[in-house]
Amino acid sequence: MEKRTLGKTGLSLSIVGFGGFHLIEIGSKEAAYLLNTYLDRGGNYIETAASYGDGNSEQKVGRAVAHRRDDYILATKCEVRDAKGASAIIDRSLKYLKTDHVDVLFMHAVQSKEALDAILAPKGEMEAAEKARKAGKVRFIAISGHGHQPVLQDAVNRYPFDILMTGFNYFDRFNFPDVESKLLPSCLEKGIGVLGMKSVGDGYLYRSWEPAIRYVLSLPIASLVLGMNSREMLEKDLKLAERFKPMSDAEREKLFKKAPELGDYVCRMCGKCHVNGFDPEAIFRLEAMYDRQMDDRRVSDTAQFALRERLRFWFNQKEEAQAAYTATKTKVDPDKDYSSLNKLCPYGIDIERKLKIAHDKLSGDGYIF
């Protein structure tokens, strides 16, 4: 399996990492089979977290592969924001993982300015991480977060993190474009190693899982962490990694045009409908923040509906989007006919209809699409 260098750490990681969250869903014996097979096939990055099953995942990793500790780069995560509590959790992680050190310790799930401030404050989590690094318990300090690009950008500006991990996928690249266009280049410029996760959008991109993974592996990241909880899934992911070839520009364009999850509803932010000072894209960017443009007000099958409802407010930025819409001058007039814009969209989006839906979501003034 191809290996890539993880920024200034110099670590050489297999392009697919083993994500430990889903180990809590299976027994220790099966977990051991999956982890050892992954290592035997050339994978070398195993990642877990203290909070996954309150140590369950870490214990399964420790039992399964501690006897071959030199074969893998090991990462865990801590989500306790004070130094005393974090130190205790780090020591518990080492005990559960049956090792004297982890290669990477993540400040886990940093989603708000308040969390970041608490981590970096005197007697905060960072003090525990630095103490552990000095004691040889931790080699590199990292940060992870789902979405909330401004918080992660602020974090890498305020502290010299070695590694950053966040979500990348071809769906959310159109909802939170700054992750790829700003945060990723900024990390690379600072020598911060970048890891990817959420390539299949928590299952939302299940119809396109292979191009979804290839899309993220084609970004300038070191490794993509995939959660695996069955032999079938492991085999599919390993095969894809073993024969991986970067996506060509033509393949990417085809994916953006044809992917069923994008369809004729998700705005690709191409700017082609910006006319006479009116910019629908600016409104769709707020809709993206509101619910990832997932609710297209069409009838869908029950499974798809349930998946969408579970995921669309996952980033919890609904109120922020509504406040931004209230503050903006570019608003939709619900009584106006915008249908002349429809012909401008190369992705076949019914801009007139989508503008009214976006207004319904964002205005909170009782307008019902």
Phi, psi of 325 (to 5 degrees): -70, -40
Our finding on whether 267 is near ligand SF4 (CB under 6 A) is: yes
CA distance 338 to 368: 17
Phi, psi of 344 (to 5 degrees): -85, -15
Our finding on whether 233 is near ligand SF4 (CB under 6 A) is: no
Count of residues that interact with ligand SF4, criterion CB under 6 A = 15
Contact 211, 244 (CB under 8 A): no
Question: Which residues, 277 to 306, sit near ligand SF4 by CB under 6 A?
Answer: 280-281, 284
Tell me the two tokens of residue 251. 């393949």
Amino acid at 234: L
- CA distances, 139 to each of 105, 129, 133, 233 (Å): 8, 10, 6, 31
Our finding on whether 271 is near ligand SF4 (CB under 6 A) is: yes
Min dist CB 213 to ligand SF4, Å, is: 24
| Nearest residue (CB) to ligand SF4, 89 versus 267 | 267
| Nearest residue (CB) to ligand SF4, 102 versus 349 | 349
CA distance 285 to 150: 15
Interaction mask 341-360, ligand SF4, x per CB under 6 A = ---xx-x-x-x---------
| Nearest residue (CB) to ligand SF4, 276 versus 302 | 276
Min dist CB 324 to ligand SF4, Å, is: 18
Interaction mask 317-346, ligand SF4, x per CB under 6 A = ---------------------------xx-
Min dist CB 261 to ligand SF4, Å, is: 15
CA distance 155 to 138: 20
Min dist CB 88 to ligand SF4, Å, is: 49
Out of 68, 182, 207, 272, point to the residue binding ligand SF4 (CB under 6 A).
Answer: 272
Kindly state the DSSP code that residue 183 receives in the 8-state scheme: I
Task: Extract the runs of DSSP E, i.e. beta strands, from the chain.
Answer: 3-5, 12-14, 16-19, 45-47, 73-78, 102-107, 138-145, 163-167, 193-197, 223-227
| Nearest residue (CB) to ligand SF4, 268 versus 318 | 268
Amino acid at 36: N
Our finding on whether 255 is near ligand SF4 (CB under 6 A) is: no
List residues binding ligand SF4 (CB under 6 A). Answer: 267-273, 280-281, 284, 344-345, 347, 349, 351
